[in-house]
Amino acid sequence: MISSTDAAALTTYSPLAQLVDMGGPVMIILIAIALIGVATFIYLMLFGVFYAPRFSRPLRQLVAQWQQSPAKTSVEDTRNNAGFFERTNPLTHLMVNTMSACQSNPNISAVRETAVRDAQSALEPFEAPLKIIEVIAALAPLLGLLGTVMGMMDAFSAMAATEGRANASQLSGGIYEALTTTAAGLVVAIPFAALAAWIEFRLRRIHKTINSALVSVFNVMPSNEHAAEIQASEPVEETADAPAEAKEYSPTDFGNNSRFAHAAG
């Protein structure tokens, strides 16, 4: 029959202390990185709810107006009339700033480079949490393997101390620690590897959303609209520089920009 002292000891022996006792010092590190990973994932989800770039209905209406008449689009009205979620949407500020720059700045190459830099900045807050989760998914099995090696070293150390006459009870402690840390490392690594793959997939979708939104802006420019009006009223003689200029402002070149493609990892 269990005495009151033993019952109190079992009550105060928390599950966390049991895990540390079963797995040794490596288990402490595994528990710590698992807690860090959970906190990082929660932060990433909360940050994504408010600050993830999203192609909302006001932005679709703004793009529709821009494609009809870029020079007459009231870009700043979208920013001034934006609600809370629109003000926290980085894509709203990116689109408004890019359209305003296209209306006022004739140097489209400079506007394009600024848009690429701002798009990359909008995705940078998501890259660091993703890297942390990827490191945890890769590090946990290695820590489990380290615990396995340390547990087997304890088992063989006990055997060497008794000159090969150690019984099963003396060896079971080290073997149990080895198996426990291996299992704990896999338990930590598997879900975080799945989370890292899912987060990377979401970032790639956000990257495609930003890319398609900006291409829809650069595909129709105020200068092109003005040039079309001039061409409709008076024929313009083609020059040798015209194809080069059209190639420079091609939306396809923007979509293949290496800096922008690197923003999603």
135 burial level (CB within 10 Å; 0-12, 13-18, 19+): middle
Read off the pLDDT of residues 77-108 as tens digits, 9 standing for 90 and up: 777 777 777 788 888 888 888 888 888 877 88
pLDDT at 58 over 70: yes
Q: Mean per-residue pLDDT for 151-165?
A: 70
Query: Global pTM?
Result: 0.69
Can you give 86-131 as a three-state secondary structure string? HHCCHHHHHHHHHHHHHHHCCCHHHHHHHHHHHHHHHHHHHHHHHH
Helix/strand/coil for 53: coil
DSSP for 133-169, written as a single string: HHHHHHHHHHHHHHHHHHHHHHHHHHHHHTTT---HH
Assess whether pLDDT exceeds 50 at residue 246. Answer: no
| Residue 255: band (very low, low, confident or very high) from pLDDT cuts 50, 70, 90 | very low
Q: pLDDT tens-digit profile of 179-225? A: 888 888 999 999 999 999 999 999 999 999 999 888 888 887 765 55
pLDDT of residue 172: 67
How far apart are alpha carbons 182 and 50 in whole angstroms? Answer: 38
User: Is residue 7 scored above 60 in pLDDT?
Assistant: no
Cβ atoms of 82 and 92 within 8 Å: the answer is yes
Q: Which two tokens stand for residue 259?
A: 């800096």
Q: Which amino acid is at 98?
A: T
Query: Which pLDDT score is estimated for 84?
Result: 76
| Helices 168-218, 108-161: inter-axial angle, 10-degree rounding | 180
Residues 223-238 pLDDT 10s: 555 444 434 444 444 4
**150 closest CA partner among 28, 17, 16:** 28
Using CA atoms, how far apart are residues 176 and 147, in angstroms rounded to an integer? 10
Q: Are 136 and 54 in contact (CB under 8 A)?
A: no
Return the closest-CA partner of residue 96 out of 115, 121, 116, 110: 115
Average pLDDT along the chain: 75
Q: Which range scores top for mean pLDDT: 23-27, 47-51, 239-243?
A: 47-51
Higher-confidence residue of 133 and 17: namely: 133
Distance CA 43, CA 130 (A): 11
Range from 33-47, 149-163, 245-259 that averages highest in pLDDT? 33-47
